[in-house]
């Protein structure tokens, strides 16, 4: 087993797993210093391309961004989302997962779903592809509004069973998106691999956020997003100063000229 994955597994019940997204080298360099997992998420579709759904993200999009991220990731585990319709059956999933691993040099892939993708996850893991799971709100499957999951007894039991199933198939961690706190707690206590929450309470073994959201580069009103810093303000300040100096002809001075 990959050493970084072993380290992540050992964090269960000891310390929190930190996961953050990156879509390019410059962000990856910063994220890598702090994260256990750097995720090239297909959220890049909405964050960078303004798509109304992650379904529009292609395998080529993911591979190109991941190549850039790879340059910046040195110590964390690099995981890449398999985009919509790239894992419709076992053989297609294996071809695409191998392509992602080979071309981006990432260490694992993430797939959305539980019971529906059982045979696919099983086949990937049998063929030595490390897989991270994703349950709860599944952006590749939703039509319409974002709704929280795990509210009813039926939903709760299904999520617990799916988590246990993914664990038994050999996934090394599961992202729990928008799952009610109590249900996320129950899932976390029912399995021995880490759960990584997003909008699913602090009961999870770790947390993930879209980095562009938490640093205030991407404007969003999603409930689970906390803006920890407003980097947009700082960028604006720098650019304003640059513009002013260019307009005054004080930049470039001799120091910055040949």
Q: Which one of residues 4, 17, 21, 183 is an interface residue with ligand KIV (CB under 6 A)?
A: 21
Instruction: Please report how close the Cβ of residue 192 comes to ligand KIV at its closest, in angstroms.
Output: 21
Joined together, the tokens standing for residue 234 give 């700082």
Q: What letter would DSSP give residue 194?
A: P
Exposed e or buried b for every residue in 197-223, given b needs 16+ CB within 10 A? Answer: bbbbbebbbbbbbbbbbbbbbbeeeee
Nearer to ligand KIV, 217 or 251 (CB): 217
Look up tokens 């198939």; give the residue.
169
**For residues 169 and 118, what is the distance between their CA atoms, to the nearest angstrom?**
8
Query: Count of CB atoms within 10 A of residue 40's CB?
Result: 30
| Binding residues with ligand KIV: total (CB under 6 A) | 10
Q: Work out how close the CB of 139 gets to ligand KIV at its nearest, in angstroms, rounded to a whole number.
A: 7
Active site residue 162: no
CA–CA separation, 111 and 81 (whole Å): 6
**101 interacts with ligand KIV by CB under 6 A:** no
d(CA 134, CA 153): 20
Q: Which secondary structure element, helix H or strand E, spans residue 197, and what is its range?
A: strand 195-198
Q: Does 178 bind ligand KIV (CB under 6 A)?
A: no
Q: Which is nearer to ligand KIV, 39 or 129 (CB)?
A: 39
Query: Binding to ligand KIV by residue 148, rule CB under 6 A?
Result: no
Which residue in 41, 83, 199, 216 binds ligand KIV (CB under 6 A)? Answer: 41
Q: Is 175 in the site for ligand KIV (CB under 6 A)?
A: yes
The interface region with ligand KIV, picked from 38-46, 59-67, 94-102, 247-255 by CB under 6 A, is 38-46
Judged by CB under 6 A, which of 124, 198, 215, 225 binds ligand KIV?
Answer: 198
Q: Which is nearer to ligand KIV, 147 or 255 (CB)?
A: 147
Q: Give the whole-angstrom CA distance, residue 83 versus residue 221.
A: 24
Among 210, 211, 216, 225, binds ligand KIV (CB under 6 A): 210
The residues annotated as belonging to the active site are: 177
């Amino acid at each position: 087993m990959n050493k970084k994955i072993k380290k992540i597994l050992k964090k269960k019940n000891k310390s929190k797993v930190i996961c953050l997204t990156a879509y390019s080298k410059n962000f990856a360099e910063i994220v890598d210093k702090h994260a256990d997992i750097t995720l090239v998420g297909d959220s890049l579709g909405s964050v960078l391309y303004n798509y109304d759904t992650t379904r529009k993200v292609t395998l080529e999009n993911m591979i190109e961004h991941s190549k850039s991220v790879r340059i910046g990731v040195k110590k964390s585990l690099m995981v890449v989302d398999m985009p919509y319709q790239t894992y419709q059956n076992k053989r297609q999933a294996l071809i695409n997962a191998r392509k992602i691993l080979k071309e981006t040099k990432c260490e694992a892939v993430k797939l959305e779903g539980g019971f529906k993708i059982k045979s696919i996850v099983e086949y990937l893991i049998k063929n030595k592809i490390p897989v991270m799971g994703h349950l709860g709100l599944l952006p590749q499957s939703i039509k319409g509004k974002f709704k929280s999951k795990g509210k009813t007894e039926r939903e709760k039991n299904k999520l617990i069973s799916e988590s246990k199933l993914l664990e038994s198939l050999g996934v090394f961690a599961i992202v729990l998106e928008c799952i009610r706190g109590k249900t996320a707690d129950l899932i976390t206590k029912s399995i021995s691999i880490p759960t990584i929450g997003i909008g699913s309470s602090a009961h999870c073994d770790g947390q993930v956020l879209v980095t562009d959201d938490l640093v205030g580069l991407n404007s969003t009103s999603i409930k689970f997003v906390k803006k920890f810093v407003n980097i947009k303000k700082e960028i604006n300040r720098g650019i304003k100063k640059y513009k002013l100096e260019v307009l005054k002809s004080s930049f470039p001075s001799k120091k910055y000229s040949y």
